[in-house]
Structure formats: structure tokens, C-alpha cells
Amino acid sequence: MRLFRQRDQADRSNILQEQQATYLIAGLGNPGREYRENRHNVGFMVLDRLATRLGLTFSRLESKALLTKGEHEGRRLLLAKPQTYMNLSGQAVGALLRYYKVPLEHLLVIYDDVDLPLGTLRLRPGGGSSGQKGMASIIERLGSQDFPRLRVGIGRPPGRMEAAAYVLEDFSRQEAALLPEILDRAAEAVLTFTVEGLPAAMNRFNGLLDE
């Protein structure tokens, strides 16, 4: 009987360790070819860059999200691109978080921010949606705003252009030339978050591209 109890305890310990080492990285965007290069889809772009770096491909649909799984330095990574359109992103993120029993502190949501200059990264441990509809949906579905997020600056719209129209435009040629470096830096920030923790990632990556 003691042997069985020891095995049960070991199994429970292994399950707990696996959950503690699992991270859900959700990049926000809109599905469909017509939205692929939009500023609003920079969250998808970061995940694509991260998947390429890890040798992964998005080949399965699960809980209304394109999902791929991988490992990095002992961490299990779940990369998810919700396919519900931006304003319903919480459906996919909430379902995946519950199914894989990922703690809130191991969730990282990546999304565009018009209030940050192009190339600026901002990691934070929590906060409101600041009007970003995908984040608002996630906060509503989770019933909490206390989870890490990575905001990727896309800059303000020119003149009197509405932000809603601006984010659904493709990056300009000049902006697109900077994207590879921005996406590489964001992908590195994600990996630092999973391995070294949020404070280390914030200290290292928060700021403008050339800082």
C-alpha cells in the first residue's frame, strides 16, 4: 500500500510540475488572407516568427484557435492564434487556459497598441484593455485582468484618421522594413518571459527598438 501511495504522490507531483512548466502564448489578430499583413495582426506575426524559430507549424485547430505545441529549455509552450476575429478572442483563450490548466501568470497575450510608437515593446503583469477589443474579450471571459501581456507598438494614425481604420491597413513599406527586427525582438522577449520570468523580460525588452 505504501508503494501505491508513493506512486500516486509522484504522479500528482509530475502533473503539477507539468502544469507549472506550461505556458500559453496567445497572439491576437483576425483570420483570413485579407487581414494577414494588417497592423492589427502583429500578434499573429510575432507567433509566426516564434514558431519558425522553434521549428513549429500551426497545423491544428483547437478550441477555436490555430494551435501548435513545442518546448524551449524545459518549458512546454502552447502557441495559439484565435480564429474568432479579434473582438471574440476570449472564447479561444479562455477555453485553452482551462483545458490545459495553465495558471494565469503563465498566460502571455500579444497584441498591437496604437498608443506606442512603432517598434516599442511593453510587457506588463496586468491592467485594463485600453480599448483593445481582443483584450477586453479575454478579460471578460477570464474574469480577471491580472495576467501578463506584451503590447507591440504600431504608432498613431496620421491626421484625423480613425484608429479602427488605421489598424486594419497593412504596414507601410517603410514600416514593413523594420518588422523583421521588431518581430525577432518580440519573440526573444516571449522566450525570456518563459525561462527567466516577467521582471527579467520587462527589464530587458521594454522600450523602443533602438534603445
* Catalytic center residues: 40
The span from the CA of 118 to the CA of 40, in Å, is 13
Note the residue count of the chain: 211
> What is the per-residue DSSP string for 109-130?
EEEEETTS-TT-EEEES----T
Q: In what order do the strands lie in the sheet with 121-124?
A: 60-62, 65-72, 75-82, 22-27, 107-113, 149-153, 121-124
Q: What gap in Å lies between CA 19 and CA 111, rounded to an integer?
A: 25
Inter-axis angle of helices 89-99 and 133-142, nearest 10:
40
Distance between CA 165 and CA 49 in Å, rounded? 25
Instruction: Find out whether 18 and 78 touch, Cβ atoms under 8 Å.
Output: no
Contact (CB, 8 A) for 35 and 200 = no
